[in-house]
Structure 1
Amino acid sequence: MFGDLADGENGWHGWSGMPAQRDTVEGWDLWRRTRHQFVPAPRLEPARWRGMPAREKSLYDLHRTATHANLPLLHTPMSRQVARALTARMRANAFKSKPSTRPGVMVTGGGYQGKTETVCEIAAAFEDSWRELNQGLNPNDVPGGHDLYVPVAYVQTPVTAKPKSTCKAILNFFGAPTKNMDLPDLVHQVAASLHDHGTRVLILDDITRLRMHRADDQDTLDLIRAFMSMHVTLILVGVNIPASGLLREGRTDPRTGRIVMSSRSSVVHGLEPTQTERRFDLVELGRFCYDTAAQIQAWVEHLAGVEEQLRLMNAQAGMLTEHGMPEYLFERTQGVVGLLERLIEDGCQEAMATGTEQLTEDLLDDIMLDLSGAIGRDPEAGEIPAVPSPPAKRKKRTPAKPSTAKKSRRNTVFDDHGPGGPDLKQGA
């Protein structure tokens, strides 16, 4: 019975479909605690699926749809590199007791390459381990205090970022008051909130929304750099950071390879009392490539991981990894994991709706990827990548029909086949 498949054990009844808003304390904490709780639809034999009563089959198909819409975040060679750099930096900074500026990390890459999800997953794993280490208690809590313990804060950079709006976005994460405050008060309130909540990591997403030709944005970047003196690991996430202008005042330290950046002034709203330079590690979350044997193998292994998550009834082993499918999928997505996920999700919807129940090149040819209406993304900041054009519609070959006219054949009994004729070969 499908009732066995839809109970609380598989996460179906507890699934609400409403994503947690990570830019608030409550939303981040909910997402962190529940991020791995969704359980995909169980695998069923096609015969059992076809024999289900209509209502049970409909419910199971809804669970399959939810499964394809919630494909898990898979590790890639690029994401592992980012994870190593981020985890090492967060841990080292978290254990520092000196009142020195903590080095930060910039995570760059193209649009739809999974930067936000990757960084959030890494930061959430760090918070899990940090909470366990401190038994869920703020190690810097003041006796008698009742502040929430918030090791990680996630904030989206405002589309029109200014120093005040950036401070308010951070304070809104904590639910702190911002009304009738001037900029110095807002800055000190940010510092107080980060300290009182025991925050070790501050993530500022979509940082390339800052436009360096605007004075307000330059002031905002100076303010963000000053946040590094608040004893937190500052993680800036953005599209193509090297080309954005954010590093125009930076230089590379030849000894460490880090980006060294100096503020235009030694004091930012009274927050930074020294001339301490701000250092960032710049790491890139790149796309898959398809040039060398190792790169092709990594792409095929990723497709195998995606294929394992799909619940299509006519799917065969190697549906995404054999024949020309890996090359086709790379041509459609250029190795961008977000575009691949979108193509696979829409393809599964089409395969279920048409009864095809498998992904083929012919089916995917009809899936158009259109990101023009993407909500919450700023095209001017490069957050929406160029989508490769679908391949030209291939003409299906029609097998030639045998002719019904009978052709008269010439009698060859008395033909001379020469010295290499059939008689010689037969007697050889």
Structure 2
Amino acid sequence: MKNSGDTAPGGGASFLPGPPVDRTRHEGFQRWRQTRGHFVPAPALTARQYADKTPRQRRLYDLHRLATHSSLPIQATPMSEAVAYTVNARIEDGAFSHKPGTRTGVMVNGNGAQGKTETVCEALATFEDQWLEVNHQLNPEAVPGTRDLFAPVAYVRCPVRATPISTCQRILDFYGEDHRGMRLEDLIRTVNTALGEHGTKALVIDDITRLKLHREADQDVLDLIREMMSMPVTLILVGVGIPLSGLLRDGRRDPVTKEWVFPPVKDRGRSPNEDAATQHERRFELVDLDPFSYDTPAQISDWIDHLRGLEGHLRLLNDTQGMLSDGDMPEYLFRRTGGVVGLLEKLIQRGCRLAIESGSEYLTAELLQGFTVSPTDLPDLDAESGEQPVIPPIGKPGPKKKRGRNTVFDDDGPAREAMG
């Protein structure tokens, strides 16, 4: 019997996920990097083709469709492309530089569920693909008798209620290094050694604003980051509300250039680390990953283009072209999500499940009105650290715009006046 595409050669379902991927470990990051984009979505079928299947085949196809909608690809947006360009440029500038000294880092700022992590991880994976190819899969800086693990990039996440010690431990965990019983000074020294001997060119610390800098006991985190900046690695910090977190002095965002502007340093205040914060501003480029906007024709066009791209990945039995991008749907979806791509993905994923279960096989505002995205749909985001996005209320679908009367054959010229 010919394989229908829903089953693997060994008899199992081809769309079943493998073991969980932990990108905060070197092995997990490598597996994700090498297999990203390998998922094969369910084939697009018509209602007639679906009806011709056996009940078992239809059930397998429905499960494959659910897997497809749960694994929607991360679509690039104009905002994420700008961030990815900056991250890639900084990593390459540092990696290919023959000069010693500090590399310029990047701080990626933005609210929750806007795709910061995926944007940065994709930039990391792209760089590592190229770096491994250039170096023939070998560490060009390998030293005989030292560690043989080659890790051009490292990705870690700050734990909730993080401290400088736990942050260093997370970095060493990525490499599988033993850090039991180490003091902070020993941890920093070991991190420095690991970065060099593993050939790491870029280090990402995600959720950096989980570090509570308002606590006096944690003020030395600025010294920790300053120490990391002296290491031969491009440091990328990702977080929510970075300009107001204490990592930098309070700044404002220029409404024209969209860049962050920081006031000149005045007399030393109560913070013992104002000089460190100033040093961060000189050594980091701060970029924002914003949600979509819906104010100008160009912004509306970008949003609709994004919805059109999403339509192509939906597996409903009715034609999905225009399902999200025509009529009042773009404006409705923007009201429901605020232009946040993570909320849009969760809304569409849940809606597709209901459309399949109800047999309607179509997404409408009326269908989406039946539920809301909740914080439980975003379990990786810590509410206390401000990572949970603001979820707009459901509200009302809004009245449909009435079409005006066709006036093509109306005559408002001299002939009509003569008739009057």
TM-score range, shorter chain: 0.7 to 0.9
- Whether 1:305 and 2:309 are equivalent positions in the alignment is yes
Q: Distance in 2 between matches of 1:243 and 1:45?
A: 52
Distance change >3 Å, CA 379–CA 352, structure 1 → 2: same
Per-residue CA deviation, residues 388-428 of structure 1 (Å, 9 max, x unaligned), is 000237799xxxxxxxxxxxxxxxxxxxxxxxxxxxx9xxx
The equivalent of 1:322 in structure 2 is 326
Alpha-carbon separation, structure 2, partners of 1:113 and 1:292? 20
- Counterpart of 2:363 (choices 359, 362, 370) is 359
Question: What is the TM-score when the length of structure 2 is the normalising length?
Answer: 0.85
Alpha-carbon contact 1:12-1:39 (below 8 Å) kept: no
Conserved 8 A contact 2:244-2:250:
no
Q: Provide the secondary structure at the position in 2 that maps to 1:314.
A: coil
Separation of aligned partners in 1, 2:384 and 2:369: 29
> Shift of residue 386 of structure 1?
1.3
3-state SS in 2 of match to 1:191:
helix
1:367 is displaced (CA, Å) by 2.0
User: What amino acid is aligned across from residue 308 of structure 1 in structure 2?
Assistant: G
Of 350-359 and 39-48, deviating more is 39-48
* CA deviation vs aligned residue, 1:120-146 (integer Å, no higher than 9, x gap): 011111111111111111110013545
**Structure 1 CA distance, aligned partners of 2:184 and 2:112?**
32
In structure 1, the partner of 2:381 is 377
**1:146-183 superposed Cα distances (whole Å, 9 cap, x missing partner):** 52110110010121222211111111111101112112
Shift of 1:98: 1.8
Partner of 1:95: 96
Residue aligned with 2:154, SS = strand
- Alpha carbons 1:161, 1:220 under 8 Å: kept: no
Are the aligned partners of 2:44 and 2:315 in contact in 1 as well (CA < 8 Å)? yes
Residues 322 and 14 of structure 1: CA distance in aligned 2, closer, same or farther (over 3 Å): closer
- Number of residue pairs matched by the alignment: 388
Residue 154 of structure 1 corresponds to which residue in structure 2? 155
The answer to whether residue 46 in structure 2 is matched with residue 57 in structure 1 is no
Unaligned stretches of 5+ in structure 1? 269-274, 397-424
Specify the SS of the correspondent of 1:350: helix
Query: Contact 1:315–1:357 (CA<8 Å) still a contact in 2?
Result: no
1:363-395 per-residue CA deviation (whole Å, 9 max, x = no partner) reads: 001121111574232112111011100023779
* Residues 102-181 of structure 1 aligned to structure 2 (within 5 Å): 102-181=103-182
Match of 1:283, SS state, is strand
**2-side partners of 1:250 and 1:331: how far apart?**
29
Quick one: distance in 2 between partners of 1:349 and 1:343? 10
Partner letter of residue 22 of structure 1? R
Q: Is the 8 A contact 2:192 2:231 kept in 1?
A: yes
Aligned partner of residue 29 in structure 1, secondary structure? helix
Per the TM alignment, residue 222 of structure 1 is displaced from its structure 2 partner at its CA by 1.9
Evaluate the alpha carbon distance shift between residue 183 and residue 74 of structure 1 in structure 2; reply closer, same or farther with a 3 A threshold: same
Does the C-alpha gap of structure 1 residues 331 and 139 become closer, same or farther in structure 2, counting only changes over 3 Å? same
Q: Counterpart amino acid of 2:45?
A: L
The answer to whether the 8 Å contact 2:112/2:381 transfers is no
Q: Which runs of structure 2 are paired with 1:331-370 in the superposition (5 Å)?
A: 331-370=335-374
Give SS of 2:390's match: coil
Is the 1:2–1:56 Cα contact (8 Å) retained in structure 2? no
Distance, in Å, in 2 between the alignment partners of 1:108 and 1:18 is: 31
User: Which residue number corresponds to residue 295 of structure 2?
Assistant: 291
Q: Deviations over 1:331-377 (max 9, x none)?
A: 10010000000000000011111111110011001121111574232
Look up the match of 2:283.
Answer: 279
Aligned-partner residue type, residue 301 of structure 1: D
Q: Is the 8 A contact 2:346 2:377 kept in 1?
A: no
Amino acid at match of 2:79: M
1:182-331, aligned counterparts within 5 Å?
Answer: 182-248=183-249, 279-331=283-335
Is the contact made by 1:21 and 1:27 (CA closer than 8 Å) also made in structure 2? yes
How far does residue 266 in structure 1 lie from its aligned partner after superposition? 12
8 Å Cα contact 1:228/1:278 also seen in 2: no
Q: Report if the CA contact (8 A) 1:111-1:384 is conserved.
A: yes
2:409 is matched with none
Q: Contact 1:113 / 1:337 at 8 angstroms: preserved in 2?
A: yes
User: Contact conserved, 2:106 with 2:286, CA < 8 A, in 1?
Assistant: yes
Which residue does 2:408 correspond to in 1?
A: none
CA distance in 2, matches of 1:91, 1:316: 40
Please tell me whether the aligned partners of residues 248 and 281 of structure 2 are also in contact (alpha carbons under 8 angstroms): no
Indicate the SS of the match to 1:353.
Answer: helix
Q: 1:64, 1:265 → 2: CA distance?
A: 53
Query: RMSD between aligned alpha carbons?
Result: 3.0
Asked if 1 retains the 8 angstrom alpha-carbon contact of 2:110 and 2:290, the reply is yes
Which protein has the larger Cα radius of gyration, Structure 1 or Structure 2? Answer: 1
Give the structure 1 partner of residue 413 of structure 2: none
SS at match of 2:187: helix
**In 2, Cα distance between equivalents of 1:98 and 1:108:** 28
SS in 2 for 1:3: coil
Note if contact 2:251-2:260 (Cα within 8 Å) is conserved in structure 1.
no
Give 3-state SS (helix, strand or coil) of 1:141's partner: coil
The one-letter code of the counterpart of 1:5 is G
Query: Match for 2:72: what amino acid?
Result: L
Deviation, 1:61, is 0.9
Return 5+ residue gaps in structure 2 as ranges. Answer: 254-258, 401-418
Say whether the 8 Å CA contact 1:225–1:278 is kept in structure 2: no
Asked if 1 retains the 8 angstrom alpha-carbon contact of 2:158 and 2:207, the reply is yes
1:380 maps to amino acid: E
Shift in Å, 1:15: 3.9
